[in-house]
Amino acid sequence: MHRIHRPVSRVLAAGALSLALLSAGTAGSFAAQAKPSPAPSSAKPKPSPSKSTMSSISVKTNKTAVKAGDKVIFTGRTQGLKIGTPLVLQHENHGKWVPLRASVKVKNGSAYALTSKINTKGTEHLRIAAGKTHSPTVTVKVN
């Protein structure tokens, strides 16, 4: 009877071990599925700031109406631009921004002052630009 007993006990032990491993694997699988998934966030991801959104230029003019050939002074401050960065006066021409021959560099304190003669009669839409960074548009009427 010892000879029959050994194979039976081995089969029973192997079966019990298999059942234990199978149960543990199934339980682990259920445990993995039982983890709560993170709730969807209603907050929109923030876009990473680009160089153009980190810098800005403000602008003011000393006159909003001039005669053709008169000088207009554009003043303002920059933020996020290095001292010495070139600033260019641009005007809108048929929907495109075209640089004019007036330029200046950012001074200590991030300020600038640019003087330009405006010769074209009509309403001029102007801005100050440094690369992809630009000021809001200002309007000057030229008679």
Q: Tell me the pTM.
A: 0.63
Q: CA-CA distance, 124 to 65, in Å (whole number)? A: 10
**Predicted local confidence at residue 52, as pLDDT:** 45
Q: Round to the nearest angstrom and report the end-to-end CA distance of the chain.
A: 122
- Domain ranges in the chain are 1-36, 52-142
Dump pLDDT digits (tens) for 51-60. Answer: 445 899 999 9
The confidence score (pLDDT) of residue 7 equals 63
- Name the helix (H) or strand (E) containing 122: strand 122-130
The domain defined by 52-142 folds into: Immunoglobulin-like (2.60.40)
Residue 105's contacts (CB-CB under 8 Å, 6 or more residues apart) are 83, 84, 85, 86, 87, 112
**Tens of pLDDT, residues 102-139:** 999 999 999 999 999 999 999 999 999 999 999 999 99
Q: Output the CA–CA distances (angstroms, integers) from residue 44 to 58, 73, 137, in the order listed.
A: 29, 42, 30
Reported in sequence order, the residue ranges of 39-95 that DSSP labels E, i.e. its strands, are: 56-57, 60-61, 65-66, 71-79, 86-93
